Structure 1
Amino acid sequence: MEVKPVNRKSISEEIVRQIKEMIGHGTLMPGDRLPAERKLAEEFGVSRTTVREGIKILAESGVLESRQGAGTFVSESRDDDGSLFDAVLSGQHDLRDVFEVRKMLEPEIAALAAVNGSPDQLTRLEDSLADQEKAVRRGASGAGYDHKFHQLLAEASGNPVLKEMVMVLHEGFAKSRAEEVQSPERQQASIRAHRAIVEAVKNGHAMQAERAMREHLASTESIVFSINISRR
């Protein structure tokens, strides 16, 4: 398996991105076993702890699955949604189109999470936000935690189909989360928005959760596309 050495500033987020690309391009197939953490650490040029962090993010979002005593494998559940997953990951779908679907789904997901989220799920959501804040404070982009936050929110909605859809749709935003567009302003805006969503969900305020998510997506859309336009 060929990988590229990782810039330490990108840490686990870059590992997450590269493994997703390998899956999207067919280098890693559903059911394939990943090399041992030690080997991955050597190939990526990072510590085993960093590799473990990246694998954990992918496992929690359903991309990978850990089997006790056997290792870490590419999730075989991808077979059902592989077509959309591959298309989004390879960039066949326009980012604006994917964003349009996110704006239709995710505010409702936030509202459902406020109604259906269990205490354990809400705790995990708070922990994810805390991890994102810590990552940003230590100079990382926190992008992987942003993805995880939205996955946990979809899980708290109580609808497994929505969880799968969010997992696939967010692959289309990997480039928008790249380190070079993760300005301090965008990072702090993401954290503030996530905090508002968590607060509304914790208090069971469905309408507030929906509104907070809608505002979050509008802000993110504005930032992402203003950056893309300025690069032309």
Structure 2
Amino acid sequence: MEAKPVCRKCISDEIVSQIREMIEHGRLQPGDRLPAERKLAEQFGVSRTTVREGIKILSESGFLTSRQGAGTFVSRPDDGARGGSLIDAVLAGNHDLQDVFEVRKMLEPEIAALAARNGSPDAKTRLEAILMEQEQAIDDGESGAGIDQRFHQALAEASGNPVLREMVSALHEGFSRSRAEEVQSPQRQKASLAAHRAIVEAVRNGHAMQAERAMREHLDEVERIIFDNQRGAYSRR
């Protein structure tokens, strides 16, 4: 496969985009094995950790399948990793950001509450580890958007509800517009990190109502920041 070097700002999101484009345009076929992480890192001009993050996002979205000891492969239609026609319609749509946030606010506060009620010690430890990764990424000047996506997926996994887990995994690509580079800003990154800390603390302590409230406030704040920034950019034209 041929890959273009990516800029530091885009990193894992651009890797996800490039590999998805190769799959959708037939340059990568179902059943094809991806090159090793080291080779992909050289082709993209990024670290192996960044490649691993991109592969994880694509695996959770159903585009790739990892097989222990064999490698990572493009998913086949019968792998069952992706959703049906409803999910495909969501993924294919160029949806309005307000609509995306409306759906996220319907689902994710309850997911956070369930994570606080049902989360295992291992699930809570994973959330804390992802939070630390996000802190480091932002300190390094990265957007942390891919890690943000993993955080919300880990919450769904911690909820203990397999339907919610699969739904969030399948909808990740549809939700990704609310995390795209053009809607990132230092203000949003700082607000997201603070909100994630509050959510993790509530989940860790088993406080479902606090977790639900923290998630709702988080989504409200991120939505406000995005649209305030967009209005400000429009007024400066």
Of the structure 1 ranges 24-33 and 132-141, higher mean CA displacement relative to structure 2 is found in 24-33
Letter in 2 for 1:44: F
Of the structure 1 ranges 99-108 and 119-128, higher mean CA displacement relative to structure 2 is found in 99-108
Residue 116 of structure 1: how far off its partner (Å): 0.6
Distance 1:3 1:83 in 2: 30
Question: Taking every aligned residue pair, what percent have the same amino acid on both sides?
Answer: 74
Q: Match of 1:68?
A: 68
2:120 corresponds to which of 118, 121, 130: 118
Residue 100 of structure 1: how far off its partner (Å): 1.2
Of the structure 1 ranges 2-11 and 200-209, higher mean CA displacement relative to structure 2 is found in 2-11
Residue 27 of structure 1: how far off its partner (Å): 5.2
SS of the aligned residue for 2:34 comes to coil
Q: Any stretches of 5+ residues in structure 2 without a counterpart?
A: none
Map of 1:37-48 to 2, 5 A cutoff? 37-48=37-48
SS of the aligned residue for 1:72 comes to strand
Distance 1:231 1:78 in 2: 39
TM-score under structure 1 length normalisation: 0.85
Residue 189 of structure 1: how far off its partner (Å): 0.4
Q: Any stretches of 5+ residues in structure 1 without a counterpart?
A: none
Structure 1 residues 56 and 171 mapped into 2: Cα distance closer, same or farther (>3 Å)? closer
The answer on whether the counterparts of 2:118 and 2:158 sit within 8 Å (CA) in structure 1 is yes
Distance 2:186 2:199 in 1: 20
Count of aligned residue pairs for this structure pair: 231
Distance 1:85 1:171 in 2: 10
RMSD: 2.6
Map of 1:171-190 to 2, 5 A cutoff? 171-190=173-192
TM-score under structure 2 length normalisation: 0.84
Distance 1:38 1:114 in 2: 37
Q: Match of 2:134?
A: 132
Map of 1:1-232 to 2, 5 A cutoff? 1-23=1-23, 28=28, 31-59=31-59, 63-75=63-75, 76-79=79-82, 81-232=83-234
Distance 1:27 1:204 in 2: 47
